[in-house]
């Protein structure tokens, strides 16, 4: 069985989440188990499995795996404690005795207001945090459907420039350029052969081919240069290299212009002109069509971490890049990963909380700030930011 690709894993994850929302727990379990078998570091899959598995021990294992990947997930940790207490693995934590004197910092937090109800059609069938859903909008963080091209909440486009598949364009270009290179080779070699023949044989062959003496009068250097340029373009297309299309367009534009000039001044036989113009013009039009197709190539944006990153700093920088172009939810996901990888970087907590607050995720912002304040209790920024978050709550 071939190794599943990242695209396969992402497709299985989306299929599992859709099945979970539709109430098909059995199918959702199968698909999500496929995901974690292929990628044991997929945190959203473990979180959803913690609600979909029937055996409490399996649910505990799924939560432990999710927390191993993201120890800062306070909601998952609370669910794990409650589940362990429910099955009797550990006794529930005892209630803390009231302090003898008021704590000077932080002040007692007010009770939290209930979360807003999700919009109709987006109600989840599990208790998993929807912020972990890869189908949330990368811009506003609201849940979307897989078939949406535009977020129904913020109305931002969910399509981005994607990888272009050369496909039929490359196949046809290889054929046309291959024929063009063969014609150029024949045109360069034929005059040398004809010149070496006796006069009578030369005239007979020219009359037979309908070429007259036009091809012989063209300088050999010009014919050789055309063969080299077309051959270079063909070699680039054989490697499917990206510069092939730009180089090919330049070479073919020059070739078509040169043949049009030759036709105007009568420098080449008619048959040679027609064959070369047809091949070069058809290849040039095909390259122009490929440019249009590349410009229209699009992919659906999902809430997934970029795979070309390693280390907390790279995730933090990518999060800032997403933030600059308005992908706020995607920025939050990358900043969250940066905090997990670099828990001692105090500034990451502040930036992550700011982005979470911008998304309206005030409870998560408070959890982030509390975690950061535990790392740096002397930092006055956390007191100020916590006060603002508590006021909003």
Q: What mean pLDDT is predicted for residues 304-329?
A: 90
At residue 119 the predicted structure's pLDDT band, cuts being 50, 70 and 90, is very low
At residue 127 the predicted structure's pLDDT band, cuts being 50, 70 and 90, is very low
Predicted local distance difference test score (pLDDT) of residue 206: 54
Distance CA 333, CA 303 (A): 8
CATH superfamily of 312-392: Tetratricopeptide repeat domain (1.25.40.10)
In this structure, are residues 161 and 76 in contact, taking their beta carbons and an 8 Å threshold? no
β-partners of residue 143 are 136
In this structure, are residues 323 and 332 in contact, taking their beta carbons and an 8 Å threshold? no
At residue 191 the predicted structure's pLDDT band, cuts being 50, 70 and 90, is low
Of 3.90.1150.10, 3.30.70.100, 1.10.760.10, 1.25.40.10, the CATH number of 6-91+127-134 is: 1.25.40.10
Share in percent of the chain as helix, strand, coil (round to 5): 65, 5, 35
Q: How much is the pTM? A: 0.51
> pLDDT tens digits for 21-48?
778 888 888 888 988 888 888 888 888 8
At residue 282 the predicted structure's pLDDT band, cuts being 50, 70 and 90, is very high
At residue 160 the predicted structure's pLDDT band, cuts being 50, 70 and 90, is confident
Predicted local distance difference test score (pLDDT) of residue 163: 73
Instruction: Tell which wins on pLDDT, 26 or 91.
Output: 26
Share of the chain above pLDDT 70, in %: 81
Delimit the CATH 1.25.40.10 region(s) of the chain. 6-91+127-134, 312-392
- Average pLDDT of the chain is 79
């Amino acid at each position: 069985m071939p190794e599943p690709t990242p695209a396969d894993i992402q497709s299985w994850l989306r299929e599992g989440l859709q099945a979970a929302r539709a109430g098909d727990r059995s199918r959702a379990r199968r698909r999500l188990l496929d995901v974690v078998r292929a990628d044991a570091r997929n945190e959203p899959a473990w979180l959803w499995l913690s609600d979909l598995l029937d055996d409490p021990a399996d649910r505990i294992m799924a939560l432990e795996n999710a927390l191993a990947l993201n120890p800062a997930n306070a909601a998952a940790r609370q669910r794990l404690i409650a589940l362990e207490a429910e099955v009797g693995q550990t006794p529930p934590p005892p209630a803390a005795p009231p302090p003898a004197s008021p704590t000077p910092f932080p002040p007692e937090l007010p009770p939290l207001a209930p979360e807003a109800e999700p919009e109709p059609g987006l109600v989840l069938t599990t208790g998993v945090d929807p912020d972990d859903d890869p189908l949330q909008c990368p811009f506003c963080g609201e849940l979307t459907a897989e078939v949406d091209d535009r977020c129904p909440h913020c109305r931002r486009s969910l399509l981005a420039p994607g990888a272009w598949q050369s496909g039929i364009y490359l196949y046809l270009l290889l054929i046309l350029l291959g024929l063009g290179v063969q014609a150029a080779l024949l045109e360069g070699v034929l005059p040398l052969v004809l010149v070496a023949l006796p006069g009578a044989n030369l005239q007979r062959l020219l009359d037979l081919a309908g070429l007259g003496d036009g091809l012989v009068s063209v300088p050999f250097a010009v014919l050789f240069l055309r063969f080299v340029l077309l051959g270079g373009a063909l070699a680039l297309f054989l490697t499917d290299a990206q510069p092939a299309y730009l180089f090919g367009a330049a070479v073919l534009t020059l070739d078509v212009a040169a043949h049009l000039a030759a036709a105007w001044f009568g420098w080449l036989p008619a048959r040679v002109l027609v064959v070369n113009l047809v091949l070069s013009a058809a290849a040039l039009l095909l390259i122009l069509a490929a440019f249009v197709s590349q410009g229209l190539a699009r992919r659906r944006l999902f809430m997934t971490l970029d795979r070309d990153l390693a280390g907390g700093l790279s995730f933090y920088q990518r999060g800032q890049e997403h933030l600059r172009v308005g992908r706020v939810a995607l920025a939050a996901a990358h900043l969250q990963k940066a905090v997990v990888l670099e828990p001692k970087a105090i500034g990451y907590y502040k930036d992550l909380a700011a982005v979470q607050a911008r998304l309206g995720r005030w409870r998560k912002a408070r959890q982030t700030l509390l975690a950061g304040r535990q790392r740096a209790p002397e930092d006055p920024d956390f007191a100020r930011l916590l006060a603002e978050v508590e006021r909003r709550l």
